[in-house]
Chains A and B, each alone.
Chain A
Amino acid sequence: MTELESRLATALREEAEELAMNVDMRNATDTLEDRLDHVDRSRRVWYVAGAVAAAAAVVVVGLVLAARGPSHDASVPPAANPPASSAGASVVADPFFHPAFSAVLPAWVTQNNVTSHKSDVYAWWTSCDVPATCADFSVSRFDSLTADGLDPRLTYQAFLAHLRDLGSKGTITISRMTPTTVDGHPATEVDADSTAMVANALGCAAGTCQDIQQDMSMR
């Protein structure tokens, strides 16, 4: 380890210790207990819902068998139950966002772990259902660019041309540009990657101009 690396490791450890020193453990423990209680309560709700669904299924099967009565031909196997449908994709509409939109989240995102944070410039959902892996889904509204050398009154078409220009120069790699509409407004789906940060290439959300970032695919 070089001298710099050694000093870096020491500095980071000392800094972390100092930052953690002021933690109020009693308060933190109370907060954790509340959160674990909440998990326990939500589990109980699911168990109750599951029990109710199972009971309802038993009643329905009982009624069907009773309706068939003695004429039921035991040699005919009962029709197989349809396979349990996989959890359907959930559609989330955000009433706070302007313009309004609805998003279809992947089916594997379990609704009970999805948190929605809303404002009129961005909305996102986080799923940490898979251990140690979180997935973020977000929708942001970017206003016209105010980046260096770009006209803040940039039009939608001019912005697309700007992205294409970045692609033709090799600054970003565009793998797909598909015209579409969002709530009747013209829109374009763009898949792009970049090996370097492209400052202020996306636009401005909540007063902050956004970069295209390296090692992150943009859609």
Chain B
Amino acid sequence: MTGTTDACRQSSLPESPRAAVTHLFHHHYRRLVGLAALMVDDRETAEEVVQGAFEALYRNWGRLRDPYAAVSYLNRSVVNGSRSKVRRRMTERAFDLPDAGSAPSAETVGLDGSQRHELIVAVRELPRRQREVVVLRYFLDLSEEQIAEWLGVSKGSVKRHAFRATDALQKRMEAWA
């Protein structure tokens, strides 16, 4: 759902690296900003991370074995960049909860607005590693093996973080009911 290699193949990439990167930018920028924003909380930082990922993609275009793997590269690059920002921010200052401007509005639709708001706030309050696992598992649809590889931890560690996260979120939901 989040842009796969197959989806990328469906629209042919221009041959010039710069045109190809620009093409990918127009097709994936918003989605990647959404992904980064789930991890870093504010849109400005998220955009900075995603811009950096596209710049890195352009810089390393010649090293890509398959240009159609660029979307996977971007996903991973955005996740790495977001994690780096969060770690840096933890060194700088306490991790702020998002301000009112980036929090979901009361008029949110889809899930019941207030339920979604509560769920997203609960996700943001999870410990950093648990939150990363939740976003990679339920937003990017990655498997436990892939998450373990991306985060550089064992599969058992991913299972543990996922269990703790869903357990905590389940308890929060039961408390609301």
Counting contact residues on chain B (CB < 8 A from A), the size range is: 35 or more
Please encode chain B, from 1 to 24, with 1 for each CB lying within 8 Å of some chain A CB and 0 for all others: 100000000000000001001100
Contacts of A207 in B (CB 8 A): 93
On whether A19 and B77 interact (CB within 8 A), knowing A9-B138, A35-B55, A131-B63, the answer reads no
* Contact (Cβ within 8 A) B30 A12: no
Q: Are A39 and B33 in contact (CB under 8 A)?
A: no
Taken residue by residue from 100 to 128, chain B's Cβ proximity to chain A (1 for < 8 Å, 0 otherwise) reads as 00101000111100011001100100011
| A183 interface residue per 8 A CB criterion | no
Q: Are B127 and A197 in contact (CB under 8 A)?
A: yes
Residues of A within 8 A of B47 (CB): 23, 28
- Interface of B with A (CB < 8 Å)? 1, 18, 21-22, 25-26, 29-31, 33-35, 37-38, 43, 46-47, 51-52, 54-56, 58-60, 63-64, 73, 76-77, 80-81, 84, 87-88, 90-94, 102, 104, 108-111, 115-116, 119-120, 123, 127-129, 134-135, 138-139, 151, 153, 157, 166, 169-170, 173
Instruction: Give me 17 A-to-B residue pairs in the complex whose CB atoms sit less than 8 angstroms apart, sorted by A's number.
Output: A7-B115, A10-B116, A11-B115, A11-B116, A14-B111, A14-B116, A15-B104, A19-B33, A19-B38, A32-B54, A36-B55, A124-B88, A131-B63, A208-B91, A210-B90, A215-B129, A215-B153
